[in-house]
Amino acid sequence: MNPKTDFFFNKPSAWQKEYAALRVLCLETGLTEELKWGCPCYLYNKKNVVLIHGFKEYCALLFMKGALLNNDSKLLIQQTENVQSARQIRFSTLGDISKNKKAILAHIYEAIEVEKAGLTVTFKKADEYPIPEEFQVRLNKNTKLKKSFYALTPGRQRGYLFYFGQAKQVATREARIDKYVEKILAGKGLED
């Protein structure tokens, strides 16, 4: 147990008992416990394997390379269609953890083997994401914007395309594009 993570387990939460049970399982596998992104993260040879985190309706184990794991248990969930690598196992009660302990441990051990083998997830390239029509119109009309957008790193391009494309309404997509044109022209990503 890493004392740096104790604050996470000790702070008031609806999931304190579940977090404690998940911690025991993760440590049982021999992984190293660290604090990353404000959450307990479990590592093999300094590589992130699994993370404990919580939400309003559930807490979860997040497997960093979950897409590479066998999901015969049907417990691994892809959070959204755009999440490429990570997969979650969600829990809403302590009983969910107890009932699935064997499968949870199997997934953790398999995730360790994935790291030992050096396996990596193949990510979709930026050009495999659809360009929202409203953004394509802007790119076609503004050569400086087009040049700036395609000069961004693939990850930054993906970030913008995903964010713009997430909006269901045309007006929202256009507002998002308006808001970020200057950042694109400045060569910055969505979160820069």
pLDDT digits (tens, 9 = 90+) for 34-50: 999 999 999 999 999 99
Residue type (1 letter), 98: S
State the burial class of residue 183 (Cβ atoms within 10 Å of its Cβ: 0-12, 13-18, 19+): middle
Q: Residue 55: how many CA atoms within 13 Å on its side-chain side? A: 12
pTM here is 0.71
Determine the average pLDDT of the residues in 13-33.
96
Digit-coded pLDDT (tens) for 168-186: 999 999 999 999 999 999 9
Distance CA 98, CA 5 (A): 23
Question: Is pLDDT larger for residue 126 or for residue 112?
Answer: 112
Architecture of domain 3-117: Alpha-Beta Complex (3.90)
Q: Report whether pLDDT(67) > 70.
A: yes
Q: Report whether pLDDT(141) > 70.
A: yes
Q: Which residue has the tokens 């387990």?
A: 9
Strand partners, 53: 60
pLDDT band at 122 (very low <50, low <70, confident <90, very high): confident
In whole numbers, what is the pLDDT of the chain averaged over residues? 93
Domain chopping of the chain, boundaries:
3-117, 126-185
Q: Report whether pLDDT(114) > 80.
A: yes
Q: Report whether pLDDT(59) > 70.
A: yes
Residue 56's pLDDT is 93
Determine the average pLDDT of the residues in 72-90.
88
